[in-house]
Amino acid sequence: MRFRLRFAPSPTGFLHVGGARTALYNYLLARSRGGDFILRMEDTDKSRSTEEAIAAIMEDLIWLGLDWDEGPDKGGPCGSYRQTERLHLYREAVDSLLAQGKAYRCFCEPGQLAQSREKAREGQVTPRYDRRCLGLSDEEVSRLLKEGRPWAARFRVPEGKTVVNDLIRGDIEFDNSTIEDFVMQRRDGTATYNLAVVVDDIYMRITHVLRGDDHLSNTPKQLLLYRALGSEPPQFAHLPMIVGADGKPLSKRHGDVAVGRYREQGFLPDAMINFLALLGWSLDDSTTIISREDLIKHFSLERVSSKPATWDTDKLIWMNQQYIMALPEERLEEEVVFFLERAGLIRGDDSQARETLRRILPLIRERMKLLTDALPLTAFFFQEVSPEIGSLDILRGEQARRMLELSRLKLTSADPFVAPIIEEVLRETASSLNMKPKQAFQPVRVAVTGSRVSPPLFESMEILGKSRCLARLDRALELAEEVNL
């Protein structure tokens, strides 16, 4: 049997990291078994679903490298991949269930139902539909229908027990008496989530459903529906939720939850995938960095944890740094150019700037945790600097002034103006002034880079070039004058 899995988000917002992990696990299982990965939009909630959200979700999935075989944008053999375009299928299912007596029409007013539900809650009683419309006679039903009274279709939950055979948790038994006759079709004729997923998954021949834990208690309802519709249900696996530090489901309160936000902050998709994969799954007792290929090769449900995982941005950051350090030169350049260009520091088609950047990259790559870290580390190459407020005091004092003055003078005759020579000159200067290297180089660093934290000084100076270095030393000298007043 060919594995067919799907990711079915409701397009009411951006792709959430939890959703991304669900998508990833579905993707990995499909790919590891040579199956299909399908994208389907659960947009039956018309009031909250938007086209922008559909586009945004697809964009984020593409960024993550989770490509699908069938989906709203590329179609496929199983009809439309948006629920709003499959309404007729749900209607047919309801009609058939109605005809078989496995479902019935409910004419109750939603408002009234909500009211009695409230009352039940207050009375600390389990709220459940009282099946009052199940008792309606055929005559009454046709009379109400003739009157044009709106109705919803409820599924008639049979007696007995329903067991969910979860691939991660094992068998979970539910007593059907704890399940109410749920609505499958609203009075406006649209299908409800439980009906729509089941019909779609049957129709799309989905073999495995991997989804969040929060759907576990919906599963028996869906199992009942499969049975009533005469279909073999897929295999289910409920993934533990991703939670915040307080153990509550991850939400905006905990920080960024939108995949797009991580992209903007300079995270690499590969790092994100690696991190997400390990949030609930492990290969063995020691693997932390694992490639997509290996993920596909080794992913299995048996090694998925059943315990909720806490989102840990620190670990994601560390992982991102690992990926930045391992990125091939050209790739790193591309990624960094994107951010530098966006910040207005360079133009992507400026070949001279690109050349400079290529020389800087080796100096900064192990200093970057995020791609955006390249900005403060490279800005001084592309624009004039004025020492930050916090660094001004480095220029203060007689020692600093003399170091700047002397090195300015000696550097004039440094030829060629390359790192080893620059270093030699500066070290000699420092020792002639009886200064420790650390103490002596900081003023120079601030003068040249504008900051007390920078890429390696001598190499940076070489790349910057002699004239600009001398000019910056001059400026710093002037500044030092002012600071000392």
Partner RNA sequence: GCCCCCAUCGUCUAGCGGCCUAGGACACCGCCCUUUCAAGGCGGCGGCGCGGAUUCAAAUUCCGCUGGGGGCACCA
The answer to the question of residue 455 lying near RNA (CB under 7 A) is yes
Q: Return all residues near 372 (Cβ < 8 A) that are at least 6 apart.
A: 265, 266, 339
**Number of chain residues interacting with RNA (CB under 7 A):** 90
- Position among 250, 457, 463, 473 found at the interface with RNA (CB under 7 A): 457
> Is residue 241 at the binding interface for RNA, with CB under 7 A as the rule?
yes
* Candidate residues 98, 113, 136, 435; the one interacting with RNA per rule CB under 7 A: 113
284 binds RNA (CB under 7 A): yes
146 tagged catalytic = no
| Choice from 74, 75, 85, 110 touching RNA (CB under 7 A) | 110
SS (H, E, C) the chain: CCCEEEECCCCCCCCEHHHHHHHHHHHHHHHHCCCEEEECECCCCCCCCCHHHHHHHHHHHHHHCCCCCEECCCECCCCCCEHHHCHHHHHHHHHHHHHCCCEEEECCCHHHHHHHHHHHHHCCCCCCCCCHHHHCCHHHHHHHHHCCCCCEEEECCCCCEEEEEECCCEEEEEEHHHCCCCEEECCCCCECHHHHHHHHHHHCCCCEEEEEHHHHHHHHHHHHHHHHCCCCCCEEEEECCEECCCCCECCHHHCCCEHHHHHHCCCCHHHHHHHHHHCCECCCCCCCCCCHHHHHHHCCHHHECCCCEECCHHHHHHHHHHHHHHCCHHHHHHHHHHHHHHCCCCCCCCHHHHHHHHHHHHHHHHHCCCHHHHHHHHHHHHCCCCCCHHHHHHHCCHHHHHHHHHHHHHHCCCCCCCHHHHHHHHHHHHHHCCCCHHHHHHHHHHHHHCCCCCCCHHHHHHHHCHHHHHHHHHHHHHHHHHHHC
Contacting RNA within 376-435 (CB under 7 A): 423
List the interface residues with RNA, window 200-239 (CB under 7 A): 213-218
Question: CB-wise, 306 or 431, nearer to RNA?
Answer: 306
Position 249 contacts RNA (CB under 7 A):
yes
Among 188, 232, 398, 482, the residue binding RNA under the rule CB under 7 A is 188
Site for RNA in 332-371 (CB under 7 A): 366-367
Contact present, 83 and 197 (Cβ < 8 Å): no
Q: Which of residues 64-103 bind RNA (CB under 7 A)?
A: none
Whether 86 and 201 have beta carbons less than 8 Å apart is answered as: no
Distance in Å, CB of 29 to RNA, minimum: 17
Q: Name residue, tokens 């590969």.
A: 270
Residue 136 or 350: the one with the smaller Cβ distance to RNA is: 136
Could you say which of 134, 145, 409, 453 contacts RNA (CB under 7 A)?
453
Choose one: 27-35, 240-248, 327-335, 468-476; the region binding RNA (CB under 7 A): 240-248
Please identify which residue in 3, 10, 141, 260 interacts with RNA, judged by CB under 7 A.
10
Pick between residue 162 and residue 356 the one whose CB is nearest to RNA.
162
Q: Report in angstroms how near the CB of residue 349 gets to RNA at its nearest.
A: 30
Q: How far is CA 236 from the centre of its chain?
A: 23
Please tell me which residue in 119, 161, 248, 252 is annotated as part of the active site. Answer: 252
User: What span, in angstroms and rounded, lies between the C-alpha atoms of 340 and 344?
Assistant: 6
**Residue 180 makes contact with RNA by CB under 7 A:** yes
By beta-carbon proximity to RNA, the closer residue of 34 and 135 is 135
Q: Any contact of residue 454 with RNA (CB under 7 A)?
A: yes
Among 22, 26, 162, 194, binds RNA (CB under 7 A): 194
Contact positions with RNA (CB under 7 A) in 150-169 = 152, 169
Please tell me whether residue 147 binds RNA under the rule CB under 7 A.
no
Residue 285 interacting with RNA (CB under 7 A): yes
Closest CB 348 distance from RNA, rounded Å: 26
Taking the least distance from each CB to RNA, the nearer of 85 and 481 is: 85
The nearest distance, CB 74 to RNA, in angstroms, is 21
- Cβ 362 to RNA shortest distance, Å: 11
Within 298-327, the residues that bind RNA by CB under 7 A are 302-303, 305-310, 312, 314-315, 317-318, 321, 325
Q: Which stretch binds RNA (CB under 7 A): 202-210, 344-352, 353-361, 456-464?
A: 456-464
Nearer to RNA, 458 or 482 (CB): 458
Active site residues: 252
